[in-house]
Amino acid sequence: MSAMVLHNRYLRENGAPAGATNMNVNGSITPVQFRSPVEDYYQYFNLCMWYLEDAGALDAGFLGNNITLTNGILFEVQLDGVLYDVLDGLPIFNNGHWKRLAFDATDFSVGQGNNIMSARFSFNKSLIGLDERPKPLILAPGDFVQVTIQDNLTGLEEFDVFLEGTRRR
């Protein structure tokens, strides 16, 4: 049997291998999708790491700099050709929604320099099998994870999503 090896992936614009990873785009007119690259082998992901950096002080809206999300950020997974809404119809609209998505959400407002917010969504805590043991998100060939930006996030310094997992060698 082949060995499992580390297999980490950034979500990229349109899932293209050389696509941009920074989601500080304007999706207000035409939504912009960032996807994990589609592979021809099985991928096993345990964590989804969200990283956001803003020059403005964090506020009650979305990060800082008075960024307002009218349409919200979508988080979806395609499995066997079916797109599933991980957020169950409740897009991310403000800073408080990171805690709803991932209990492990932290903001680093350091007083000088850019402010950073990170969140860790654990697939292996959300997908409990019938045997009550944690399970990774398993992407079959052709499956992907997707984040859709539907607002103008060009005021952010950086916004990316990273999947942490393994695959068979």
- CATH classification of the domain holding 80: 2.60.120
Question: Would you say 8 and 162 are in contact if contact means Cβ atoms under 8 Å apart?
Answer: yes
Would you call 20 exposed, middle or buried from its count of C-beta atoms within 10 A (0-12, 13-18, 19+)?
Answer: middle
Residue 86 has pLDDT above 80, yes or no: yes
Q: How far apart are CA 16 and CA 26, in angstroms?
A: 18
Domain span at 119 = 4-168
Nearest to 116 by CA among 124, 107, 125: 107
Confidence bin at 66 (pLDDT 50/70/90): low
Taking residues 137-166, report their average pLDDT: 92
Residue 22 has pLDDT above 90, yes or no: yes
Cα dihedral 143, 149, 154, 160 in deg (nearest 10): -40
Cα separation values, 33 from 5, 16, 48, 59, 106, Å: 28, 11, 16, 26, 25
Nearest to 146 by CA among 11, 3, 6, 8: 11
Q: If you count them, how many residues does the chain have?
A: 169
Number of C-beta neighbours around residue 70 at 10 A: 9
Task: Report the number of distinct structural domains present in the chain.
Answer: 1
Q: What is the pLDDT of residues 41-50, one digit of tens each?
A: 899 998 899 9
Q: How far apart are CA 71 and CA 148, in angstroms?
A: 10
Q: What is the pLDDT of residues 100-125, one digit of tens each?
A: 777 677 777 766 778 888 888 887 76
